[in-house]
Amino acid sequence: MKWMRSGISRILPLLFLAGSLAAQATPGTATPDSAPAQSQNPAPQPSSAQPSSGQPSPARPQTEDPPDPPKSVQPAPGATDDAAIKPVNPVDPVNAVNPVKPVNHVNPVNPDTEPPPKRMFGMIPDFENTNDTDANRKPLTVREKYILSLHQSFDFSAHVGNAFQAGLQQAANGQPRYGQGWGAYGERFAANEGDQISGSILIYGVLPSLLHDDPRYFRQGRGRAMARVWYAINRTFVTRRDKGTSGFNTSQIVGQLISCGISTSYYPPQDRSTSRVFSNWAVNLGGNSAYNVLSEYYPDLMRFVFHRHATAAPSAGK
């Protein structure tokens, strides 16, 4: 019996352990130890059926959906932030369309505003010629007077004119004491260069700056032909002052005389007499008057010539 009890007492714990392991392996099967823990009356399950009309159903707490967050206003595609915030001005002067101005294809030539050419025939400098308008009556500064004298002295057209004049003197045997040949032509050309430089510096630069004369020739550009010719001739003796009044043209008269006196230093010895100086002086004054007449009418001549060619070209193409 002892042996049996002791064997059972040893086997029972093993059986109990095996049963516990089996209960864990099958949760739906109740074990002897777990059965008393469960209640005899199972808890009633909630029924989905509607309650009868006689019994009011308990009120359920109704949950409200949270309000939607405010939606941000999205700008239109391609619009900037400033455009989305700033209201559109229906009348924007910046973006307004400028009306198309009519184009005037015909530009009439106004002799009062068109500046005259600075060179006549490509070989006579004419930088002192200007239109007699209010815009051009402002007096020249001393610097501008000297710039004008340098243009008249060293412009390429002056050298071309002196070369042409020397050729005419050579052909006509003017001042025969120079002789003939290329050496004589070079001496004539050098003498003309000396006369051009000394006369221009004195007449347009030095004397007008000292005497406050305006060395320019103010072209009329309109009026009767004889009146314009007389005006051009007497401009050799009458000039405009820097203050706007008219007076004796001392710069031209005295400047020509001093230039003729300087020329005696490089003319042939036979042409260095006092009588020769005054005869050259008179010739130069007459030449200056003819030069003024050419300056007065040269723009009209060029306008007439080019206008004839411009009108003849379309008619020739028809």
Tokens of residue 98, six digits: 């400028």
Strand spans (E) along the chain: 119-120, 124-125, 129-131, 213-214, 217-219, 238-241, 246-248
Separation of alpha carbons 279 and 137, rounded Å: 34
What's the average model confidence in pLDDT over 231-241?
95
Per residue in 84-112, pLDDT tens? Answer: 455 545 544 544 455 555 544 444 445 55
DSSP annotation of 87: P
Separation of alpha carbons 313 and 191, rounded Å: 45
Do 169 and 161 contact (CB within 8 A), yes or no?
no
Per residue in 270-302, pLDDT tens? Answer: 888 899 999 999 999 999 999 999 999 998 888
Q: What percent of the chain clears pLDDT 70, i.e. is strictly above it?
A: 61
Per residue in 3-38, pLDDT tens? Answer: 344 444 555 455 455 555 544 544 444 444 444 444
* This prediction's pTM: 0.60
Q: Which amino acid is at 310?
A: A
Do 208 and 170 contact (CB within 8 A), yes or no?
no
Do 128 and 218 contact (CB within 8 A), yes or no?
no
Q: Which of 252, 248, 239, 249 is nearest to 202 (CA)?
A: 252
Do 281 and 260 contact (CB within 8 A), yes or no?
yes
DSSP annotation of 236: T
SS3 170: helix
Average of per-residue pLDDT values in the chain: 75
What's the pLDDT at 176? 83
Q: Which of 249, 302, 309 is nearest to 119 (CA)?
A: 302
Separation of alpha carbons 144 and 129, rounded Å: 14
Per residue in 169-226, pLDDT tens? Answer: 889 888 888 888 999 999 999 999 999 999 999 999 999 999 999 999 999 888 999 9
What's the pLDDT at 234? 94
- Cα dihedral sign for 14, 16, 21, 26? positive
Q: Which residue has the tokens 């009519």?
A: 102
Separation of alpha carbons 262 and 257, rounded Å: 9
